Amino acid sequence: MPFIYSDSNKRYHTLDYYYKHKYKKKVFKVSLNANFSCPNKDGTKGLGGCIYCSKLGSGDFAGNKNLDLVKQFKDVEEIMRKKWPDALTIGYFQANTNTYDTVEHLKEKYETILNLEGVIGLNIATRPDAISEECLNYLEELSTRTNLVIELGLQTIHEKTSKLIHRGHDLTCFTEMVKKLREKNIEVVVHIINGLPNETKQDMLETVKYLNQLDIQGIKIHMLHILSDTKLAKMYSEHPFPVLTREEYVDIVCDQLELLRPEIVIHRITGDPKVEDLIAPTWLIKKFGVLNEIDKEMVKRDSYQGKRIKEKD
């Protein structure tokens, strides 16, 4: 039985499918580093950030913060247009916390990218504790003019783990911000991480079950990767903890897909670390191998996104 949101061998709702059917064209995102800070680094919420966060603020593939945003954008666009000359583009504010500034400064940065030819929208990665009421109102207005997506980092619903990874906000804060964004008709994509220290498979499934009950439009599933020069690397060196094998990760992801509503778009389904900084797990280097194994496992199970929901009905 073919999956309803697929015109390929994929049995889950891929971002490529979503873009192709919404815009009738190829769409690619351009990752940007607007040199924002983070409340979990500057002392507002904490110091040092989350234990897994790289020195580039989880924006390892974003642009060079020393270059202006237009230069960052054009450098990537030039390369991508060689492959997709007629594609549409989305500006992705990726590194650090991209609503953590005055609305005046946010407008300056966002509008600069929106004014570029061929840009149809913005994806803005941020934290649920870093969106002020003034910012919310601006985002609401912005969403009436462009295709706006707010990406919220959650990682896990489990407070014990959240404290261990030094997340700096609780589940209530996250849930309330999702509600506020959706009340303003702003699309929400949530980031989660599989393989966090001490979490069981059931813990990871519970995170997805919780999110499936919320009004979210997309999800990014990451595999925990341990990068050099992070607090997590120090923890791993001093007190080694089990890291998921590729087989374990594939099994967990397939279970998570079965628990998610079919209309939720899967924006990411594995990690994508910089090879030179990666300590573990090394199997993440072969990204397409992981994707292929997920596809194969879904076929083996004769499964698809949302299957367990359907079985309950």
What does DSSP assign to residue 266? E
What is the reported pTM?
0.94
pLDDT attached to residue 293: 97
**pLDDT score of 57:** 46
Does 188 map to a domain? yes
- 4 in any annotated domain: no
Question: From residue 280, how far is each of 38, 86, 211, 273, 284 by CA, in Å?
Answer: 25, 38, 27, 10, 8
Whether the ω angle into residue 281 lies within 30 degrees of 0, i.e. cis, is: yes
Domain count, the chain: 1
Buried b (16+ CB within 10 A) or exposed e, 101-130: bebeebeebbebbbeeeebbbbbbbbbbbb
Is 149 within a domain?
yes
Q: What is the pLDDT of residue 238?
A: 94
Asked whether residue 189 is assigned to any structural domain, the reply reads yes
Measure the CA–CA gap between 209 and 189, rounded to whole angstroms: 15
- Specify the pLDDT at position 176: 98
The whole-number pLDDT of residue 306 equals: 96
Ranges under pLDDT 50 in the chain: 57, 59, 313
pLDDT at residue 310, rounded to an integer: 65
Residue 10 lies in a domain: no
In a domain, residue 5? The reply is no
Question: 267 phi and psi, to 5 degrees?
Answer: -80, -25
Q: The CATH number of the domain where 48 resides is what?
A: 3.80.30.30
* Residue 236 structural domain: 15-312
Residue 264 inside a domain? The answer is yes
Torsion of CA 63, 267, 231, 289, to 10 degrees: -100
**The predicted structure's pLDDT at residue 284:** 93
Mean pLDDT of the chain: 92
**Tokens standing for 70?**
């237009």
Q: Is the dihedral of CA 200, 196, 267, 295 positive or negative?
A: negative
